[in-house]
Structure 1
Amino acid sequence: MRASGILMPVFSLPGPFGIGTLGKEAFAFVDFLADAKQTYWQILPIGPTGYGDSPYQSFSAFAGNPYFIDYRLLAADDLLTADEVPAARPVGPIDYGALYNERPVILKKAADRLLAAPSPSYEAFCEAQSFWLEDYALFMAVKAEQGQAGLADWPDDLRCRKPEAIAAAKQRLAGAVDYYKAVQFFFYTQWNALKAYANGKGVRLVGDIPIYVSPDSSDLWTHPELFQTDGQMHLTQVAGCPPDAFAADGQLWGNPLYDWPVHKATGFAWWKQRMKHATSIYDVVRIDHFRGFESYYSIPAGNKTAAGGHWEKGPDRDFINAMHENLGEGGIIAEDLGYLTPEVKAMLSASGYPGMKIMQFAFDSRESGNYLPHTYHRNSVVYTGTHDNVTAEGWRTNASAEDVAYACRYLRCQPEELTEAMICACLASVSDTAVIPLADWLHLGSEARINTPSTQGSNWQWRLTCPLPEALAGHIAQLTMLYERAQ
């Protein structure tokens, strides 16, 4: 079935609270998608962000981001008073430091009101999410007690979860634990309402989950046996990508690597639980760095760059079979970008999941893979670019003259028409699904880039600062119908 969608992070939505939220602007964007005859809204990971504010470095593989909670919805539920809702501020780039200082103060007021008389829906939420919620809340409470220190810097008895230390922490931090549970209830109440609204409008949500968890996460803390550690919660090997034409030193992500033999011995129980959760909150799940299931790049912990790593064999078909057994064979997008070996391609083929095609890569002379549109097959998802790419307009103005000229020859357009030509090539392709970042529909330049891999300081901050043009939904709808992707 041919379909299309738009990539737009929740945090990039407009709104009055310094970051996109799950409030009326999110509902308005769903209306826009429906008017534009789009089937999918693809977002980035929605977990609570940690180091570097990256959604791919979250404190939990299951929790939601408190920054996305909309104060107005809390007020509508009588959990905040009107004067406790902050005054609207101009829409601009996200200041995560300001959010870090403001959010807990306001959310604490709402949590106190909820906890003074817990509702049946709150009790039901805690019971349904008990497989992760209590551990996450205790992790966050200890982290706050430790001055927000990373897990690696906690006292040994807490870091290594000595039973007596954990029992004492649960008693000592009971109030804080309840606060973090209440905040998750707020998030998921608002998230579920948004998803129900989107589905009612014929819009399906495409979520994104990182393959790895953060080194500073409740997942590592509560399940260290599932990761490559020294038995004292110290990582022995970490994740990343080898050097290539885009990064001379490679990418040193620093995430814990899985102890795959342990996962296999459990029947991949943790991963089954994680994917069950993901498919309950999203309609489709994109798994980041899917090739890491076939083989993964292993870097000794403590290395300063990724250059000293090596490849290790992953679970491959055993993992795929477990996912099919748990979820069936649909509802997954495999992010298969990067260094692809014949073995990775065979695993992807065996999975049946669609891989990804990036239009920018088709014309980038640094990219060794073949992403030219005439090579695509139906079981794929094509993008002009992703959150890790510059916008199409930014690519046009920053790529080499030779690469731009090649793209224009291939797409039969003038340079100033290149962004629209790339969009149309995506929509016209045989790929079953085409996803276009909103910034490309708006022809925005490099200022709208969301992330530059292997850099810090200005990522994950872009927001839509002006109203969408009135004619844009109609324009998108016309092209969507022209290329027979309207549902």
Structure 2
Amino acid sequence: MTLQTQASLLNQRQAGVLLHISSLPSAFYTGDLGVESYRFIDFLHEIGAGVWQTLPINMPHADNSPYQCLSAHAGNPDFISLESLQSQGLLTKEDCAGLITSKLALLDKAYLNFSQQSEDVPEHKKFHQAFARFCKKQASWLDDFSLFLALRHHFNDAGWSDWPELYKNRDQKTLEQAQVQLAHEIAVVKFAQFVFFTQWLALKKYATKKSIALFGDIPIFVAFDSADVWAHSDLFKLNADKTVSVVAGVPPDYFSETGQRWGNPHYNWEAMQQDGFSWWVSRMTTQGELFDIVRIDHFRGLEAAWEIPATEETAINGEWVLAPGDALLGAIKQALPEINLVAEDLGIITLEVDELRKKYHLPGMKILQFAFSGAGDNPYLPENISENSVVYTGTHDNDTTLSWYNRLDDYQRGNLHAYLAATHAEGHEPKMPNDLIELALESKALLAIVPMQDILQLNGQHRMNTPGTVTGNWHWRFGWQQLTPAQKESIRIAISQSGR
């Protein structure tokens, strides 16, 4: 059986698992696109899941947050499988021994070996031709990104706004000279992206063969220190000196009493609209090549976004500013009619945001950890969840379900127990996280996603991210030894019995 046609991917009952690439087991410091990623697809196939959801796979800053990246297009080179490069003869086992923090130096070595290959060998010639085709196809973003990263390294990893003026302001003659002076560094960046995309698309091909859809995620905003803002500063709300005037975030909510001040620049929507949102269409085209389904993080920002003066230290003193989401989604759908989008519509959702989502038939998100407030009209209660939804026990921003349950106050725990008593056979003893997983799978939502931590029944020490904090996030990884035969059988049976 092969993967269903793109158009039907979100129109059938399916189950999936949320696990970022970095959380895969690995011999190195982070998970990658090597053998363990293929093993994970096999695991999904064995339990009857049809979807693998990841976090954004772009290249992050030093804090490793996948929601603050150096490019809206470029993949994270840390996810490149070094074993694959060894099998291609571009690295040796000795090269990779003792690697602790970064693969960039090894990618430089792999590129040198690649560039010295004789093209008289047909296999080598084919590989070099594929690299040339990749660079040409992706030139609209790759040329800027490779120069950006080479310059960033040249200036000791300083953000572009701290570069000398001629570089910061993209003086044409200065950049032309830099392209000559940094030709090797630029080529290495392009090669790394070629390897990443090649390895990712090979994984995607394997996933399709196993009837697994890859479900990606894009942050609605991009980082200020990114190739996108440097190369297209006119598309963002910046001051005359190219500093940020307003930054993105969300007002106080469930996750934080002072809101979240993300610090991303806001879009200059007027400028974007003038060329038919070409930057967005290009971005979504790349994501559509890498994924079968794409989640737009903070979807409500396409209708109106929370703008915080850059001088404010918290997100409290911001305001909602309208965005042309209808025109943008129309342009994306016109250019990419087959793309499957999901709206992250959590937080303060207005009627206008809901109408925008429904106009484009985008599934919204429902989180069961939010369901037991005691209100009968709580939108996260299973009976209030519509088919056109993606239901989760929790997301990467939530605690693990086991930890969430253990930390519930008596009122909410009582509500949960009463709910389980009313929906299960008499004498049912609450069992977490299994009960919440089953509620998600049994719901009407066409797609149900379970974080890997919940399948493994892990506590709060294993959560992926705590919103509003800047340390201790994005580092969680699992090991196959944590997965017991009983856990594997439990999720397989639950998926099967839910008709997914």
Q: Which of 246, 270, 285 pairs up with 2:255?
A: 246
Residues 374 and 415, structure 2, Cα contact 8 Å, conserved in 1: no
- Name which of structure 1's ranges 114-123 and 373-382 shifts more when overlaid on structure 2: 114-123
Residues 389 and 449, structure 1, Cα contact 8 Å, conserved in 2: yes
Q: Which of 429, 441, 448 pairs up with 1:434?
A: 448
Residues 373 and 415, structure 2, Cα contact 8 Å, conserved in 1: no
* TM-score, length basis structure 2: 0.91
CA deviation after TM superposition for structure 1 residue 51, in Å: 4.5
The answer for unaligned runs of 5 or more in structure 1 is 89-97
Q: Which of 21, 35, 47 pairs up with 2:58?
A: 47
- Is 2:471 the counterpart of 1:457? yes
2: CA distance between counterparts of 1:163 and 1:383?
49
1: CA distance between counterparts of 2:486 and 2:197?
33
**1:218-297 aligned within 5 A:** 218-297=227-306
2: CA distance between counterparts of 1:474 and 1:418?
16
SS in 1 for 2:103: helix
* Deviations 1:130-163 (CA, angstroms, capped at 9, x unpaired): 1111111100001001110112222221111111
1: CA distance between counterparts of 2:75 and 2:63?
17
2: CA distance between counterparts of 1:403 and 1:387?
22
**1:388-427 aligned within 5 A:** 388-412=397-421, 417-427=431-441
2: CA distance between counterparts of 1:369 and 1:297?
24
Residue in 1 aligned with 2:489? Answer: 474
Identify if the C-alpha distance between structure 1 residues 238 and 51 changes in structure 2 by more than 3 Å, giving closer, same or farther.
farther
CA deviation after TM superposition for structure 1 residue 363, in Å: 1.9
Q: Which of 23, 40, 43 pairs up with 1:32?
A: 43
Identify if the C-alpha distance between structure 1 residues 179 and 395 changes in structure 2 by more than 3 Å, giving closer, same or farther.
same
2: CA distance between counterparts of 1:215 and 1:129?
22
Which structure 1 residue ranges, 4+ long, deviate > 4 Å from structure 2?
413-416
1: CA distance between counterparts of 2:389 and 2:337?
18
Residues 226 and 263, structure 1, Cα contact 8 Å, conserved in 2: yes
Amino acid at match of 2:397: D
**1:270-419 aligned within 5 A:** 270-328=279-337, 331-364=340-373, 370-412=379-421, 417-419=431-433
1: CA distance between counterparts of 2:177 and 2:457?
56
2: CA distance between counterparts of 1:195 and 1:32?
15
SS in 2 for 1:205: strand
1: CA distance between counterparts of 2:104 and 2:326?
44
- Is 2:492 the counterpart of 1:483? no
Residues 396 and 415, structure 1, Cα contact 8 Å, conserved in 2: no
1: CA distance between counterparts of 2:19 and 2:354?
28
- Name which of structure 1's ranges 229-238 and 308-317 shifts more when overlaid on structure 2: 229-238
Residue in 1 aligned with 2:114? Answer: 114
Residue in 2 aligned with 1:67? Answer: 78
Residues 60 and 217, structure 1, Cα contact 8 Å, conserved in 2: yes
* Deviations 1:3-48 (CA, angstroms, capped at 9, x unpaired): 1100011000011001101000000000000001111000011111
* Deviations 1:308-341 (CA, angstroms, capped at 9, x unpaired): 1111001031122112212226511110111101
Residues 288 and 335, structure 1, Cα contact 8 Å, conserved in 2: yes
1: CA distance between counterparts of 2:187 and 2:339?
37
Amino acid at match of 1:418: M
Identify if the C-alpha distance between structure 1 residues 462 and 80 changes in structure 2 by more than 3 Å, giving closer, same or farther.
same
1: CA distance between counterparts of 2:81 and 2:254?
42
Amino acid at match of 1:270: W
SS in 1 for 2:386: coil
Residue in 2 aligned with 1:16? Answer: 27
The answer for unaligned runs of 5 or more in structure 2 is 1-11, 118-126
Amino acid at match of 1:46: I
* TM-score, length basis structure 1: 0.94
- Name which of structure 1's ranges 409-418 and 39-48 shifts more when overlaid on structure 2: 409-418
CA deviation after TM superposition for structure 1 residue 250, in Å: 0.8
Residues 361 and 371, structure 1, Cα contact 8 Å, conserved in 2: yes
* Deviations 1:38-89 (CA, angstroms, capped at 9, x unpaired): 110000111111142100011001101011111111000000012112259x
Amino acid at match of 2:283: R
Residues 241 and 250, structure 1, Cα contact 8 Å, conserved in 2: yes
Number of residue-to-residue matches in the alignment: 474
Residues 33 and 473, structure 1, Cα contact 8 Å, conserved in 2: no
Residues 115 and 182, structure 1, Cα contact 8 Å, conserved in 2: no
Identity of aligned residues (%): 38
Q: Which of 126, 131, 135 pairs up with 1:126?
A: 135
SS in 2 for 1:131: helix
Amino acid at match of 1:197: Y
Amino acid at match of 2:226: S
CA deviation after TM superposition for structure 1 residue 416, in Å: 5.1
2: CA distance between counterparts of 1:87 and 1:52?
22
Amino acid at match of 2:489: G
1: CA distance between counterparts of 2:479 and 2:218?
27
Residues 329 and 352, structure 1, Cα contact 8 Å, conserved in 2: no
- Is 2:16 the counterpart of 1:5? yes
1: CA distance between counterparts of 2:240 and 2:175?
17
2: CA distance between counterparts of 1:104 and 1:418?
42
- Name which of structure 1's ranges 250-259 and 121-130 shifts more when overlaid on structure 2: 121-130
Residue in 2 aligned with 1:444? Answer: 458
- Name which of structure 1's ranges 205-214 and 408-417 shifts more when overlaid on structure 2: 408-417
